Chain A
Amino acid sequence: MNRKSLLTLVFILSLGTTVFSQNEAEKWGKISAADLAMTVYPEDSTAAAVILQDVGQVELRALGKYLVNFKQHRRIKVFDVKAFTEGNLLIPYYSIDGLEKIVDLDVQLILPNGEKQKVKSDNVFTEKLSKYRSAKKVFIPNLQKGCIIEYRFELSTETVQVLHDWYFQDDLPVRWSEVTVHIPPFFNYMLLTNIPRTFEVQETKNVAEYTSTRYGLGHLPAIRKEPFITTLDDYRAHIGFQLQTVNFPGQEQQKFMTNWGELAIEMEKWSGFGDQYKHDRNFNDMWKVLAPQLKPGVDPADTIAQRVLRFVTENITWNEEHTYYVEGTLDDAFNRKTGNSAELNLALVALLRKAGLNAVPMLISTRSNGQMFDKYPFRDQFNSVLAYLRKGDGGVVLDATNPYLPVGQAEDQHYNQAGWVVDSKSPLWEKLQAPDATEAWFGQMQLQESGELSGRFTININGALAADWRAELSHRSEREVLKENFATSYPEITFDSITITSRTNFDKPLQIKFFCRIPNAANVVNDFIYCRPVLDFFVHESPFKSLQRSYPVDFPYPVKMNYVLNLQLPPGYDVEELPEAARIVLPNEGGKISFSCAKSSPQLVQVRLTMNLSQATFMPQEYATLRKFFDLAAEKTQMQLVLKHGQ
């Protein structure tokens, strides 16, 4: 379909009806009578505002130097006071070293009667948000119901390797969104898309040697954050552009990341990365302190790895920044006692190597930074780094950003499918899977005639849950931590003889043993005692409250929960009724719940509840099943025994 016929189509439709399918953007200030008069958005009649159109333009110019202009032109219709916050615009940009500049910003308000009011500069502020970023803040005056907010700005940068991402979808419904990419013929970009369906418009034209491609999507629903996601940006329909090659006529082809091998070589040479762990001068101070604690050749490799990890976590605090390069040197971070994720984990790489182990860095994009692309050999898609210690054919990760982790485990944020091993000899993508988070409860309790429960529990904990418990236990008494764990269900619980094993030996499972007494744990009525034998479990309530989900569920780690209780009945009582056994298995063994409750001797009942969840990602069509799975787990924690006093 060519441009002319499109325009014609729009023209006819807008005359003939108020509801039309827009797939062409309107020019600045040209507002249709229908849009002015619109009082509800037909596709979401309860929406307080709608993005009528959002038009992007990415333009690369080679004028002596490269210059990229990103333009955005957005129009929002505000129906109700509820959406008046749309009148506060926030346009962030990377201001460090003048990396990006906002060169033009126009904002106007179109009143319901069509009158246009230009927003004057005294409503516009520039704020430095941090060292890296600034923002334009615009407070649109005179905003009223039925107004249309229209704004456009131009952001200019000299960065050509990666062009400005375009998000078609937002927290408001979007009627039409499009982006046009305008590039010189010598530049070859790779496209990265995540869209729910094919583009409604995808057309390429050549204008004076430039290639101009337009991508358009319409009628996108508002998107909202749900539990268990990486970052909402991964699920918003979007498109990105990564430079692959530049072929100037008569010149040799310039490659911008043609393959992973070349990226690995470049990373290894880079002063902010490979240079740091390859040259002693960057970590001498650290090594001098650590070296006396190690006996290379004598200590087994595992012991060395553990010592190095402890050394780094005890000497450098993570400053909560994820990044993939070192700002000064590793020793700077060591002497400052604080560092970003690259400084901590490249320090691990440096020290492990120096101690004779085969360690290399692994680049990662954190869950909140979003997905990575293995067809996309480009470093800026990463935002963090782990240490990767080779072992046989594979290897294990080390991560110093959380001081309670063993060798072989990273912080949850770092589990985002896979990581890229930076090694020019054999660069490769390694799948990353978090160790199982497990809690195994084993209890032996006695139920009294009064309804009191008392007895011992042993809990063995591994993986992410062990790190959480250890963090809690590091600065509070075990009694307080346990008490808080039970506080909502059993406010009267008391503890005794608490012992904790492997509190600081992170490479072993954490073990907590305790004796507890819970008055009124069971309900005693007449001759009956009703007792809920599952005192605590991973799931109390399903975390999935929404009925539907439009994008996948993504769990950071697999879960294995096990609860066993041997319950001694009070003398004179016998079992009147036991809850039925139950079992549910998700398709493809993605998860399993089993529950059983049986009499193992005349006065003893054994209760078992297990829940495994090994599948990390569940698609929207599997959501209903997943909800049922969690509902069942929650239900089983509520099961009750009925005991009756024998006559």
Chain B
Amino acid sequence: MTFLKIPGILLLLAAAMPLGAQSSFYPSILLPTDLTTGAHLVVRSAQTIFRVESATDATLERSWAITILKPEGHYAAQAVCLEDEFMQLKKMEGRLYDENGLLIRESGKKEVKDYGSSSDYEFTDQRVRVLEMESSTYPFTVEFKTRETIRGFFRIPDFEVQRLGEAVEQSSFSIVAPVGYQFQWKGVNTDIQPKITTTGTEKTWTWTVKNLPAKPNESNQPYFGKQYAEVLFAPEQVKIDDYSGNLSNWTEAGRFFYTLNQNRDNLPVEAQTHVLNLTAKAATNREKIDILYRYLQENQRYVSIQLGIGGWQTFDAAFVNNRKYGDCKALSNYMKALLKVVGIPAYQALIFGDSDGAPAIYDDLAVPRFNHMILFVPGEQLWLECTSNTYPPGYLGDFTAGHPALLLTPEGGKLVHTPALDPAANRKSTHTDLLLDEMGNAIVEQRLLATGNRHPYYRALANEKNLTERNKTFAESLPVSLKKLQRLSLMASAQLPEARMDFAIETAGYAARSGKRMFVPLTKMLPVRRSLPSDEHRFLDVYIADCYTLTDTIIIHFPPGYTAENVPPGKNIESEFGRYELQIEQAPDQIQVFRRIEIRAVAVPAERYGEVRQFYVDIAKLEGGQAVLVKKE
């Protein structure tokens, strides 16, 4: 039996089966255990047909049946389609079957829900259409069929071969196109090959997979963007509205997006004059950039309005100049226009923004998996995040650092990477004096300097809407109960990615007491909590992007009359994944704790998961350290 027959039979069954008929559809009880093991759902049968009608028009037809085994798989009980100017939903139907495969119900005509998809700071013409097939008892099977028409496209949907936690019994993806239609493709975590057939003027490529057992969905994994195994496509000739291009390689893809956004960086004469006046005294290009970036931050705000092609094409700089708002594209383009006035060339860069990482970008396949735009100044090798009102010039933050980016230059696209996070640049250094009283309460005075990715939290705190809010947020962040806030000051550098905090507080409780003894946690004010679950059969590679260095000096002043009975020894841990250093010095009435922790980024194969975890467990053990004080008789 070929893959094509199964959906055919399904369609017949579905058509011939009235509500409540006793025919069985994918009974769950017959599922083989090698498919149910470790799976929260099993894709029983999925078929996608992407039919290219012309360079601009296409239809996307999908049908899929999924047996949901557990609540973790419940997300698949709904079908979601997006609609906008370019994509229209023509059909959306659902059916629900019980565990014996008996039809429980079919969706009604009015059941498809319609939601707006924009947040408070956005307006888009995109609608979210949702159809839900709910059941409260597991397992159950859902079946969905959708048809969408597409007018103007530059991406062919990915073939989501397999997601983590899902087993696949059978799934296929077909591209049907006029003979001569060109596209490129690439399999990721799969080596399936298409079956190619030609009938008359039509050519069909079909990729099929069968009986894939579930892969576990583990923590700290490489960035898959939900899709573990996938086939990606890049059409050669694309056309959307009046813009055509070709995505056969990154140079051409970049040219397409460059053209789409070209000649939108001209400011009105008065604005140009203003820019020249602002920068008249600046001696260097870097000074000019800093002045203009600050000007952008103080005058613009992030508002995203996406209508039609506006999802990929920026507002004109003159428009942004007038409105004083824009989205990432509009603000990047506006910044580019400001720089253009003073003769500094800059390139817009497409990028994927997410603190957890970004989907892989392959040199040999131009699939624009991007969701954000930033600006690059080649002369200074400087990256500018144009949607932040507070970042210093050149600071990107976790959202885009170390991600692949596509520079849009007049010569076409250039695939590059933004600079990766460096533990030496992401620092937090503190000096703390902790004055204990006999009740175990403490006065804590701390000075803190944070840089790089450790600093945005303090920058945000410094920029809270008012003092009351700031003090509340500060109190909430404290690992101890606050009795009195004596002093709190915050300062974020305008020029550098760094912030300072200085505070003095009285705490309600710090050390626990038992009779004449007092138990003083050494690093409670600056807790470091890192842990990984104990996956015994780790399957996925281990990936942790966050990295930083913490340097802390804590001086614990004893209450009068107390001496140290026991103080834990200092200790060092050396690992490929970081370093931990703890030194403790004793004096008659105080101890001085010096702690230095370096946490490095991790990218290692699955079999080394245990080592990474052990490093964090070792740190956790040392972090619980306490000094025992005893009252002198």
Contacts and interface: CB of A to CB of B under 8 A. Distances in A.
Q: Do A and B come from one complex?
A: yes
Interface of A: 44, 46-49, 81-85, 87-88, 90, 123, 125, 127-131, 137, 139, 141-145, 221-222, 224, 313-317, 319, 335-338, 403, 474-475, 483, 487-488, 491-492, 520, 523, 525-526, 528, 530, 541-542, 545-547, 577-580, 627-628, 630-631, 634-635, 638-642
B121 A492 contact: no
B529 interface: yes
B472 A224 contact: yes
Contact of B468 (A137, A144, A222): A222
B202 interface: no
Given A224-B468, A483-B533, A491-B616, 4 more contacts: A317-B136, A337-B105, A528-B628, A546-B475
A388 B469 CA distance: 43
B418 interface: no
A578 B116 contact: no
A643 B484 CA distance: 35
A416 B517 CA distance: 45
A523 B626 contact: yes
A83 B104 contact: no
A58 B313 CA distance: 44
Interface string B439-475: 0100000000000000000000001111111111001
A530 B628 contact: yes
Contact of B517 (A577, A631, A634): A577
Nearest to B124: A127
Nearest to A639: B512
B238 to A, nearest CB: 29
B514 A631 contact: no
A555 B234 CA distance: 56
A122 to B, nearest CB: 10
8 contacts: A47-B465, A81-B389, A129-B115, A137-B123, A403-B136, A520-B621, A627-B508, A640-B517
Contacts of B519: 530, 638, 640
Interface in B70-117: 70-72, 96, 104-105, 113-116
Interface residues of B, number: 72
A130 B566 CA distance: 63
Contact of B514 (A90, A487, A630, A642): A642
B509 A139 contact: no
A546 B476 CA distance: 7
Contacts of B490: none
Given A127-B116, A337-B135, A542 B517 contact: no
B322 A141 contact: yes
10 closest A-B pairs by CB: A338-B134, A141-B323, A46-B467, A579-B514, A317-B136, A84-B301, A638-B512, A46-B466, A545-B476, A125-B123
B301 A87 contact: yes
Interface of B: 70-72, 96, 104-105, 113-116, 118, 120-121, 123, 132-137, 297-299, 301, 303, 305, 322-325, 389, 440, 463-472, 475-476, 478-479, 481-482, 484-485, 508-509, 512-517, 519, 529, 531, 533-534, 565-566, 568, 616-617, 620-621, 626, 628
A317 B301 CA distance: 43
A491 B620 contact: yes
Given A46-B466, A628-B508, A142 B323 contact: yes
Nearest to A141: B323
A48 B70 contact: no
B481 A640 contact: no
A579 B472 contact: no
B475 A44 contact: no
- Dominant secondary structure at the B interface: mixed
A143 B301 contact: yes
B134 A337 contact: yes
A317 B134 contact: yes
Nearest to B512: A638
B534 to A, nearest CB: 7
A90 B516 CA distance: 60
Contacts of B469: 222, 224
A133 to B, nearest CB: 10
A336 B29 CA distance: 23
Given A123-B323, A475-B70, A545 B478 contact: yes
Contacts of B303: 87-88, 139
Given A525-B566, A545-B476, A631-B508, A338 B132 contact: yes
A532 to B, nearest CB: 8
B116 A128 contact: yes
A128 B531 CA distance: 43
Nearest to A49: B465
Contacts of B516: 577
Contacts of B512: 579, 635, 638-640
B564 to A, nearest CB: 11
A130 B325 CA distance: 27
A87 B516 CA distance: 60
B39 to A, nearest CB: 13
Contacts of A319: 132, 134
A40 B134 CA distance: 54
Contacts of A638: 512, 519
Contacts of B134: 317, 319, 336-338
A224 B468 CA distance: 10
Contact of A578 (B104, B324, B514): B514
A240 B252 CA distance: 62
